[in-house]
Amino acid sequence: MSFGPSFGARLFEATAARGPLCAGIDPHAALLQAWGLSDDAAGLAEFTDRCVQAFAGHVAAVKPQVAFFERFGSAGYAVLERAIAALREAGTLVVADAKRGDIGSTMAGYASAWLDVSSPLCADAVTVSPYLGFGSLDPVLQAAEDAGAGVFVLAATSNPEGAQIQRAVAAGGRSVAQTMVDEAGARNAGAEPMGSLGVVVGATLTEAPDLAGLNGPILMPGVGAQGGTAEDVSRLAAGNLRAVLPSVSREILRAGPDVAALRVAAERSAEGFAFLLD
């Protein structure tokens, strides 16, 4: 079974219809407290339900941060399963921010969990870490291709520690980050309107890898509360504006807990990136 049209095609259509925005669901303890909710599975469920009501059918994509569900064990995963199902039923793409990375059968297990249409955790796309070598991603890349799903590979992240690996020079004189972008681009070659293998590039970076040959989506977190601006997104994406999917979490979520206020904040954020579609 598959999703039908490829993730790249579905994302292209979704951003055209609802604006280029990936709204984050990040139910960390401080936000639960700010919303007047308990830091337990019940508070998590209430927080998530309000986010789903606000975003489902109104934004192009939603990115749940898996760690904040995982910390509540099976009860947290049950909340995540319900959220993914409700968002996808409403036609909103779900990017599971799981950052999985392993080898062989273990990576295949992660692929089944997040991209197999029979899994209760099945999302439209998943984030992965390539730092066991890009080839270690093959099981999840194959699963995504079979299902018509998407994968976002960590390439150039905003955290200062990332530079230790990502800016290191690899074989051929390219940075490790550039190598990841180029590997993804090779797999997206010829895809229309774009491929389904994307990369993650932080919006707070001073410079990004060369993205000209990617032909795939660029998930750009760090916008808003973390300091990234629309101007940063434009600068880092260079000539690839149509492929950019800005990810905004805290700036939208601090408008909660009111559902209507959350929806307005998300819609305003999407409007701020309308220039990416020109």
pLDDT tens digits, 211-238? 999 999 999 998 876 777 889 998 998 8
In the predicted model, what is the mean pLDDT of residues 242-267? 96
Say whether 99 is catalytic.
Answer: yes
Quick one: which of 132, 144, 129, 128 has its CA closest to 103? 132
Is residue 125 in a domain? yes
Q: Domain tally for the chain?
A: 1
Across 92-117, b (16+ Cβ under 10 Å) vs e yields bbbbbbbbbbbeeeebbebbbbbbbe
Residue 248's domain comprises: 7-272
Is residue 17 in a domain? yes
Is residue 143 in a domain? yes
Quick one: which of 113, 94, 92, 86 has its CA closest to 102? 113
Token pair, residue 184, equals 């993804």
Residue 105 confidence (pLDDT): 97
Over pLDDT 70: what percentage of the chain?
99
Three-state SS sequence of 158-224? CCHHHHHHHCCECHHHCEHHHHHHHHHHHHHCCCCCCCCEEEEECCCCCCCCCCCCCCCCEEECCEC
Question: pTM (2 decimals)?
Answer: 0.96
Is residue 172 in a domain? yes
Element (DSSP H or E) covering residue 107: helix 104-115
Is the separation of the CB atoms in 139 and 111 below 8 Å?
Answer: yes
In Å, what is the CA distance from 127 to each residue of 124, 151, 158, 225, 261? 11, 6, 15, 21, 28
Is residue 2 in a domain? no
Is the separation of the CB atoms in 57 and 47 below 8 Å?
Answer: no
Average pLDDT score over the chain? 95
Is residue 149 in a domain? yes
Is pLDDT at 1 greater than 90 in this prediction? no
Is pLDDT at 88 greater than 90 in this prediction? yes
Residue 226 confidence (pLDDT): 74
Phi, psi torsion values for 22, nearest 5 degrees:
-115, 110
User: Between residues 200 and 225, which one has the greater pLDDT?
Assistant: 200
Is residue 278 in a domain? no
User: How big is the chain, counted in residues?
Assistant: 278
Report the range of poorest mean pLDDT among 78-87, 103-112, 133-142, 226-235.
Answer: 226-235
Residue 147 confidence (pLDDT): 95
In the predicted model, what is the mean pLDDT of residues 183-212? 95
CA-CA-CA-CA torsion sign (39, 41, 42, 45): positive
> Position 172: which residue type?
G
Query: Which CATH number belongs to the domain containing residue 96 in this structure?
Result: 3.20.20.70
Catalytic residue among 82, 99, 235, 242: 99
* Beta-carbon contacts of residue 46 (< 8 Å; ≥ 6 apart): 37
The 10s digit of each residue's pLDDT in 125-184 is 999 999 999 999 999 999 999 999 999 999 999 888 988 999 999 878 999 999 999 999
